[in-house]
A and B are shown apart, each in its own frame.
Chain A
Amino acid sequence: DQQVKQNSPSLSVQEGRISILNCDYTNSMFDYFLWYKKYPAEGPTFLISISSIKDKNEDGRFTVFLNKSAKHLSLHIVPSQPGDSAVYFCAASVYNAGNMLTFGGGTRLMVKP
C-alpha cells in the first residue's frame, strides 16, 4: 500500500518557466511533509518542508503548497533552471514521531535550456 504517491514519473520544462511537481498521500496521520532532490550518484538533499498547520511555505525559487482536505501537496519552482534537473522525492512523516520518512516514487524533472 503506497501511502505517498507521485503520479508523474517525469516532467519536462523550458528554462525560465514554472515547474510544478505533485504528490498525494493517503495516511491522514501525516502532518509534516518534505521535498528532497537527488542527482545521479548522490544521496537525496533536503529542499523544503511544510507542517500541516500551514498551507504554503516559500524558500527562494521554491514554494510548497499543502491542501490537507485533498491530501495533496505540490512543489513549484520559479523560474526553472537547467541545474534543477534531478529526481524530486516527496516525503511525509508524523511530526515528533522520530523522523521516519515515507517517500513517494519520485519525479524526474528535466529543464531544457
Chain B
Amino acid sequence: DAGVTQSPTHLIKTRGQQVTLRCSPKSGHDTVSWYQQALGQGPQFIFQYYEEEERQRGNFPDRFSGHQFPNYSSELNVNALLLGDSALYLCASSGGSSYNSPLHFGNGTRLTVT
C-alpha cells in the first residue's frame, strides 16, 4: 500500500521563477494538505484541498496556489519565488469524512531558491 508520494524530491529555482510541486495521497484518502517547513522550524500550514476545492488556508500570500484533481492528487504552485521560499514542502493526506484522522505525510520536496 503506497503512502503519500511527492515529486520531485529536490528542486533548485532562481528568484522570480515559478515552481510546481506534486503529491499523490495515500490510497483511500481524499483530502490533501500542504505544509512548509523552514530550516530548524516546525511545519507551517499552507492550505488544504477536499473535493477539488480549497477548504482551508493558512497565512500564506496569493503567490501560493494549489489544485486538486479528480483522482485526489494535488499540486502546489508558487509564483515569483523569493529566497525565503526555500524550504521543505510537505504534503499530507487524510480521510476527508473524519476531520481528525491523523495526517499521513510524504517525504517532502526540498526547494532551494537562489
Contacts and interface: CB of A to CB of B under 8 A. Distances in A.
Contact of A43 (B44, B48, B102, B105): B105
B48 A100 contact: yes
A101 B99 CA distance: 11
Contacts of B99: 95-99
Interface string B90-114: 1010100001111111111000000
Contacts of B43: 44, 89, 101, 103
B42 A49 contact: no
B15 to A, nearest CB: 26
B16 interface: no
Interface in A57-113: 89, 91, 93, 95-106
A32, A43, A44, A98, most chain B CB atoms within 10 A = A43
Contact of B103 (A42, A46, A97, A102): A46
A53 interface: no
Contacts of A8: none
18 contacts: A36-B105, A43-B105, A44-B90, A44-B105, A91-B42, A95-B100, A97-B56, A97-B99, A98-B48, A98-B55, A99-B48, A99-B100, A100-B48, A101-B103, A103-B42, A103-B44, A104-B42, A105-B40
Given A91-B42, A100-B45, A100-B58, 5 more contacts: A44-B43, A95-B99, A96-B100, A97-B99, A105-B42
Contacts of B48: 98-100
A106 B42 contact: yes
A101 B45 contact: yes
Nearest to B88: A43
